[in-house]
């Protein structure tokens, strides 16, 4: 007699773990759709200085003026219904400094996502954003004493307007691209971090972004400044309920690593499969600084994300390590940009993508070396793994090298999970499902081993979930 | 005889992508015995080994594989492994990013049908590493990734030792090894000889049989066992080559 295997699909599992929603909680919700009045309203409610409103309006105009990108998945992009999106939903009056100050159903959501528990175990600071605003914020006292600033962006603007004014929009200008423009117009929440000279923050600072409402647009804005010789790791996670209608997440993240600073930005993106995730992430690395983007994309309907590092000072180093997992109905269009604008700069791009079912992954990358960036070194490696016949992967690498004395390497592979690998593992006693999961986990190992332990466990678990039902 | 034979291959016909490779193989391996299956290239040796393990590309068109009296036809490779069959591959496959430690632990769990406590797993591994003279650092390498031929074969033997199968099929485990590696591998195989265990050693050359004396030798030619005999048959092969068996095979009327 055979025992039927429990039929659990990824969607059921996502539903249970992350896809749940609680009744909407808001102290203010702007009407759906966007116009100039709404941009003014958001800025006014936040009590912002005039220069920020000007910046928002500049962003709004650029958003209207810029056409939708034509080089990407236009069918999906053109199905975004901008008029149906809620651009601003304020869930509470102000962020709580302890979880007790957070409204019960919102706190319960973050409890279910394990955030307070993670905070107790291994985090130096936590910010939790719900819809448009941060609802919880806290950082260890010793870091505060060392002068580390970790605030939600709105509070940051209130408390440190001079720093924000100086750096906001300098890495990613308002009119950089259509979605960065939209973010500039409508931004709310996100993190502002400043790490003073020489301060090394040993435990990660974490932000968690949660969308709960239907047709929500979340536009967080993050600025991280690592001053000379400082070190910091920032982690962001994100989930949303599974709704049949779409939500839009369009973040802008600007990183500035001053001379000899080390900045590491880790993302594990796990939006539900009705979220458009169109974000702009870019860093500046000054002399001898290192910026590392670790970018894991598992969720969303369409992700377009190409974290970049502008290597502006001699000896600066940039890295993008990314993993994309596209299941049926998903398109992960991810990549990296490395701009070498100084001598002796180096960059490494490692992209790993997995496509399953009808899922689609694209790697889009740019390596640019300006004249005078002598001895620039860049290594690009993209590996795509297809789990079945219908899945798809494309690679669009671009190299613009205007300097003679350089070392550039590019390697790309596309492979299917081999019958021989499966047979080998199965001959040792692994079921087909276990064998597939193991091969996939091995494939992303170069990424996972770079993650702090807690996140690598989390990532492996998420990949495991995606692998459910991989065997027909 | 009350106990069924460990392995009975009965009039096995197998085709790969429509081409008939095995054309009626008969073979019986009892517990405690070591059989050597010898044959020229293309005679179907590897096909037989893949077939015993249940490779999906190899189609049994007629005949049977009985393991401990049970027909294996419907069982996927992992269930055959759990039943106690092991295949040491001629060309082991690399699984980049997966450490030998993780792989072996998953394998042992699969074969036993339950989780193996970390401590017990470590003990089993350590004992076997010592016996095979393999450094412990080997365990943190990725499965067959960038391995030399000798390392691959050693890993096969290590897996066999850890999983402790009842029937081990070794597909040309001796090929491509220098004399030292060959000795280590042969010692590893010898260490596994046990009254309850059967070994089927598939080889092209007589060389490994200098270190391992089989109970029975079979000669596979053109998809059939052309002759079976004692250890002396291997020496005869060494002296005369496969040609004589080829002739013999062509004149022997089809038995089926």
Residue B51: is its pLDDT beyond 50? yes
Which chain A residues are closer than 8 Å to B81 by Cβ? 426-429
Selecting from B76, B94, B98 the residue whose C-beta is nearest the C-beta of A441 gives: B98
Smallest CA–CA distance, residue B217 to chain A, in Å, is 25
Six token digits for residue A439? 């091969």
Q: Which residue out of A427, A432, A441, A445 would a mutagenesis test of the B interface target, given it has the greatest number of B Cβ atoms within 10 Å?
A: A427
Interchain pair B110, A431: CB under 8 A: yes
User: What is the distance in angstroms between the CA of the first residue and the CA of the last residue of chain B?
Assistant: 26
Interchain pair A424, B93: CB under 8 A: yes
In this prediction, residue B248 carries a pLDDT of 57
C-alpha pair distances (Å), A100 with each of A96, A135, A150? 8, 11, 20
Closest C-alpha among A446, A457, A455 to residue A203 = A455
Residue A12: is its pLDDT beyond 80? no
In this prediction, residue A380 carries a pLDDT of 96
Interchain pair B110, A424: CB under 8 A: no
Which chain A residues are closer than 8 Å to B16 by Cβ? none
Q: Tell me, rounded to whole angstroms, the distance of Cα A152 from its chain centroid.
A: 16
N residues, chain B: 256
Strand partners, A395: A363
Strand partners, B200: B35, B169
Count of CA atoms in the C-beta half-sphere (13 A) of A423:
19
Could you give the residue ranges of the DSSP H alpha helices within chain B? 45-53, 77-83, 100-112, 118-132, 149-163, 179-192, 232-240, 243-251
Rg (CA), chain B: 18
Six token digits for residue A106? 């919102």
In this prediction, residue A434 carries a pLDDT of 93
Which chain A residues are closer than 8 Å to B103 by Cβ? 425, 428, 438
pLDDT above 70 as % of chain A: 97
- Taking phi over 0 as left and psi of -120 to 50 as alpha, with beta for the rest, A423 belongs to alpha
The residue-averaged pLDDT of A220-241 equals 96
Interchain pair A429, B81: CB under 8 A: yes
Count of CA atoms in the C-beta half-sphere (13 A) of A463:
29
Interchain pair B111, A418: CB under 8 A: no
- Hey, is A358 helix, strand or coil? coil
In this prediction, residue A259 carries a pLDDT of 98
Six token digits for residue A345? 């700069």
Cα(B224)–Cα(A154) distance, rounded to whole angstroms?
80
Interchain pair A423, B77: CB under 8 A: yes
Predicted-complex ipTM score: 0.94
Cα(A326)–Cα(A266) distance, rounded to whole angstroms?
19
In this prediction, residue A4 carries a pLDDT of 40
In this prediction, residue A11 carries a pLDDT of 55
Count of CA atoms in the C-beta half-sphere (13 A) of A72:
23
User: To 10 degrees, what angle do helices A453-467 and A10-17 make?
Assistant: 140
Which residue reads 């808001």 in tokens? A26
Selecting from B77, B95, B108 the residue whose C-beta is nearest the C-beta of A427 gives: B77
In this prediction, residue B3 carries a pLDDT of 65
Residue B168: is its pLDDT beyond 90? yes
Which chain A residues are closer than 8 Å to B141 by Cβ? none
**What are the residue boundaries of the structural domains of chain B, listed by start?**
7-251
Cα(B137)–Cα(A276) distance, rounded to whole angstroms?
45
List, as one string, the DSSP characters of A121-162: HH-SEEEEEETTEEEEEEE-HHHHHTT-EEEEHHHHHHH-HH
Interchain pair A424, B81: CB under 8 A: no
Residue A173: is its pLDDT beyond 90? yes
In this prediction, residue A8 carries a pLDDT of 40
Cβ burial of A103 (10 Å; 0-12, 13-18, 19+) is middle
The secondary structure element, H or E, covering residue B37 is strand B34-38
Q: Which residue out of B95, B109, B116 would a mutagenesis test of the A interface target, given it has the greatest number of A Cβ atoms within 10 Å?
A: B95
Interchain pair A423, B80: CB under 8 A: no
The residue-averaged pLDDT of A86-95 equals 94
Residue A462: is its pLDDT beyond 90? no
A204 vs A8, more confident: A204
Which chain B residues are closer than 8 Å to A427 by Cβ? 53-54, 77-78, 80-81, 86-87, 89
Six token digits for residue B240? 């005369």
C-alpha pair distances (Å), A223 with each of A167, A286, A373? 8, 16, 27
Cα(B139)–Cα(B95) distance, rounded to whole angstroms?
14
Cα(A334)–Cα(A296) distance, rounded to whole angstroms?
10
Six token digits for residue B233? 């048959």
Selecting from B76, B142, B159 the residue whose C-beta is nearest the C-beta of A428 gives: B159
In this prediction, residue B253 carries a pLDDT of 42
Average pLDDT of the residues of chain B: 91
Strand partners, A199: none
C-alpha pair distances (Å), B86 with each of A324, A337, B46, B54? 36, 48, 14, 11
Provide the number of CB pairs (under 8 Å) joining chain A to chain B.
85
The residue-averaged pLDDT of A428-438 equals 94
Interchain pair B92, A424: CB under 8 A: yes
Total Cβ atoms within 10 A of residue B155: 23
The residue-averaged pLDDT of B59-76 equals 95
Residue A153: is its pLDDT beyond 70? yes
In this prediction, residue B98 carries a pLDDT of 96
Total Cβ atoms within 10 A of residue A197: 14
Choosing among 3.40.50.300, 3.40.50.2300, 3.30.70.260, 1.10.260.40, the CATH entry for B7-251 is: 3.40.50.300
Is B125 in contact with B162 (CB distance < 8 Å)?
yes
Residue B244: is its pLDDT beyond 80? no
A12 vs A439, more confident: A439
Residue A211: is its pLDDT beyond 80? yes
Selecting from A424, A438, A439 the residue whose C-beta is nearest the C-beta of B89 gives: A424
Binning pLDDT at 50, 70 and 90, where does residue B68 land? very high
Six token digits for residue A302? 């369409």
Six token digits for residue B181? 């590696």
The residue-averaged pLDDT of B24-30 equals 96
Cα(A88)–Cα(A46) distance, rounded to whole angstroms?
11
Which chain B residues are closer than 8 Å to A435 by Cβ? 78
The per-residue pLDDT for range A263-318, each reduced to its tens digit, is 999 999 999 999 999 999 999 999 999 999 999 999 999 999 999 999 999 999 99
The secondary structure element, H or E, covering residue A425 is helix A419-426
């Amino acid at each position: 007699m055979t025992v039927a295997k429990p039929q659990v699909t990824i969607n059921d599992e996502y539903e249970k773990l992350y896809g749940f929603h609680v009744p909407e909680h808001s102290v203010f919700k702007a009407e759906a759709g966007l116009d100039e009045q709404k941009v003014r309203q958001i800025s006014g409610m936040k009590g912002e200085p005039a220069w920020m409103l000007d910046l928002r309006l500049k962003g709004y105009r650029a958003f209207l003026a810029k056409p939708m990108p034509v080089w990407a998945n236009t069918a999906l992009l053109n199905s975004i219904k901008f008029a149906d999106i809620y651009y601003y939903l304020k869930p509470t009056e102000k962020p709580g400094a302890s979880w007790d100050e957070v409204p019960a159903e919102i706190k319960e959501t973050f409890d279910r996502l394990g955030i307070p528990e993670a905070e107790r175990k291994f985090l130096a600071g936590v910010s939790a954003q719900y819809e448009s605003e941060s609802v919880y914020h806290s950082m260890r006292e010793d870091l505060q004493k060392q002068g580390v600033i970790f605030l939600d962006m709105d509070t940051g603007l209130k408390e440190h307007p001079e720093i924000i004014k100086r750096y906001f929009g300098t890495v990613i200008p308002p009119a950089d691209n259509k979605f960065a423009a939209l973010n500039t117009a409508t931004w709310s929440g996100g993190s502002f971090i400043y790490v003073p000279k020489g301060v090394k923050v040993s435990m990660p600072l974490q932000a968690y972004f949660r969308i709960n409402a239907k047709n929500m647009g979340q536009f967080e804005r993050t600025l991280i400044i690592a001053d000379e010789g400082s070190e910091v790791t920032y982690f962001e996670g994100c989930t949303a309920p599974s709704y049949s209608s779409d939500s839009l997440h369009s973040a802008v993240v600007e990183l500035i690593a001053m001379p000899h600073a080390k900045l590491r930005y880790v993302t594990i993106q796990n939006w539900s499969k009705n979220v458009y995730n169109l974000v702009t992430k870019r860093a500046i690395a000054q002399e001898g600084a290192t910026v590392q983007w670790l970018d894991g994309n598992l969720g969303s309907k369409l992700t377009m994300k190409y974290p970049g590092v502008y290597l502006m000072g001699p000896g600066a180093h940039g890295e993008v390590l990314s993993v994309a997992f596209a299941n049926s109905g998903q398109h992960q269009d991810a990549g990296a940009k490395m701009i070498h604008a100084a001598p002796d700069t180096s960059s490494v791009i490692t992209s790993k993508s997995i496509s399953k079912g009808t899922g689609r992954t694209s790697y889009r990358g740019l390596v640019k070396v300006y004249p005078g960036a002598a001895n620039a070194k860049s290594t690009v490696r993209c590996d795509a793994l297809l789990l079945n016949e219908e899945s798809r992967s494309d690679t669009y690498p671009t190299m613009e090298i205007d300097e003679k004395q350089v070392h550039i390497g590019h390697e790309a592979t596309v492979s299917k999970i081999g019958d021989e690998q499966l047979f080998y593992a199965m001959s040792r006693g692994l079921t087909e499902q276990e064998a597939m999961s193991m091969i996939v986990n091995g494939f992303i190992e170069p990424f996972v081993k770079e993650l702090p332990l807690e996140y690598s466990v989390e990532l492996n678990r998420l990949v495991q979930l995606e692998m459910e039902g991989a065997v027909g | 005889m009350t106990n069924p034979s460990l392995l009975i291959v009965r009039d096995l016909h197998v085709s790969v992508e429509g081409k008939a490779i095995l054309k009626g193989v008969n073979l019986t391996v009892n517990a405690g015995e070591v059989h050597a299956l010898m044959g020229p290239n293309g005679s179907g040796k590897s096909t037989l080994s893949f077939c015993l393990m249940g490779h999906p590309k190899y189609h049994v068109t007629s005949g049977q594989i009985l393991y401990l009296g049970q027909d294996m036809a419907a069982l996927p490779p992992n269930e055959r492994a759990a039943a106690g069959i092991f295949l040491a591959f001629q060309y082991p496959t690399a699984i980049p990013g997966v450490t030998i430690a993780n792989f072996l632990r998953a394998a042992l769990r699969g074969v036993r049908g339950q989780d193996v406590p970390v401590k017990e797993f470590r003990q089993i591994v350590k004992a076997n590493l010592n016996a095979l003279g393999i450094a412990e650092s080997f365990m943190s390498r990725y499965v067959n990734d960038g391995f030399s031929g000798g390392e691959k074969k050693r890993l096969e033997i290590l897996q066999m030792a850890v999983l402790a199968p009842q029937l081990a099929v070794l597909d040309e485990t001796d090929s491509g090894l220098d004399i030292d590696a060959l000795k280590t591998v042969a010692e590893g195989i010898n260490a596994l000889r046990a009254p309850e265990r059967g070994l089927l050693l598939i080889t092209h050359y007589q060389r490994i049989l200098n270190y391992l004396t089989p109970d029975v030798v079979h000669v596979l030619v053109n998809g059939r066992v052309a002759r079976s005999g004692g250890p002396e048959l291997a020496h005869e092969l060494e002296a005369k080559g496969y040609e004589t068996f080829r002739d013999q095979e062509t004149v022997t009327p089809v038995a089926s």
